Each structure stands twice: as structure tokens, then as C-alpha cells.
Structure 1
């Protein structure tokens, strides 16, 4: 009986972990609305605005591994460089969704 409880707990933990890392439609929608004009749909920043404002390539694996989720959320809030600040425009939950979507843009 004990083994059944352990297996059930492991199943729940794996399911929750997968759900937390899965892309959400809201994150993609927020990215399209607020980020893609400069960073592009794929995050590579190969847009006119991206070149003009030196937008970060969000798909770059080295950048993705260097920036924590908290650092990325802070950058979204304060708007480094020419990037607009979204604190007061987006809620913390929306910023978390946006960070989750940006993580899906990582290229090998």
C-alpha cells in the first residue's frame, strides 16, 4: 500500500512540474502584443525595431542560460535601455506568463 502512495505522489509531482514549464496561451499572446515588434515572433530580434534599438536575441541559448527568471522578470518590469517598462502595465502573473513563453524561444 505504501508503494501505491509513493507512485501516486511521484506521478502528481511530475505532472505539476510539466504543467509549470509548459507554454501558456496567455504568455504567447502577451509576447505578441508587447514584445514581438522588436524581438520578433521567434525572439531573434531580426526586425527593423530590433536592429534600431539593439534588442536582445531572446532565443540565444547562452543568454537564456545566463539570465534567471527573476532577472528576466525584473528587466520586463523596469525596461532596460530603449525597452519600455511594463511595471504597472502588466501584472506579476502576466509577467510570469511572459517569462515562461520567452523560455520556450530558446534555440540549441
Structure 2
């Protein structure tokens, strides 16, 4: 029910009666609260579009960071489970020469092939 005019008239007419299951002033207060809430918008939220866009951008950034961290954790676990000390030393030397990202690519290729280091 979105049109409370008839209910409002009945409640106003019943004001002062005490033998009712719901007091008319309570009904009128509920109607006023509903009208106040409806006047604020669609009832879904009270945030503006700019704030929602900002929150969505932050969420997307956090998802991307989470995915990068998950991939790094997979590499780390793969190395712990598959590499011995000699392989660690070789990879560290390789990292000094080629950079960490090239090691990530090397590990990713070995993981996708199911290779042991």
C-alpha cells in the first residue's frame, strides 16, 4: 500500500479511542515514517552516484591486488614444495641478472607444465 490517505483518515477519526489493538497515533506515526522514507528516494540507499563509483573502483582495485597476491602465494608454495637449495641459489642469481618479474614468468611456465625446478 503506497496511498495511505484512507488509512490516515480512519486513524485520525479513531484518535482518542482506547479499545483498539493498534493505537491510531501509532498508525499515524508509521505512515509519517513511511512517507518520510519514500521522500528520500527509492529506498535502496542514500549514497550518491559519485560515492558508489568510488566504492566500486576501490573494490575493483582490491580484487586486482588480491589476485596478484594469490598468484605470488602460489609461486611461493610451488617453490617451497619443489625447489632444493641449489635451485634457490640459481633463481636468486637469475633474479639479480634479469629481475624478479622474469623469475615469476619462469616459475609460471614451470608450474603450468607441472615441471620440477
Normalised by the size of structure 1, how large is the TM-score? 0.42
Judging by fraction of residues, say which structure has more helix: 2
Higher relative contact order (CA 8 A, sep 6+): 1
Rg larger for: 2
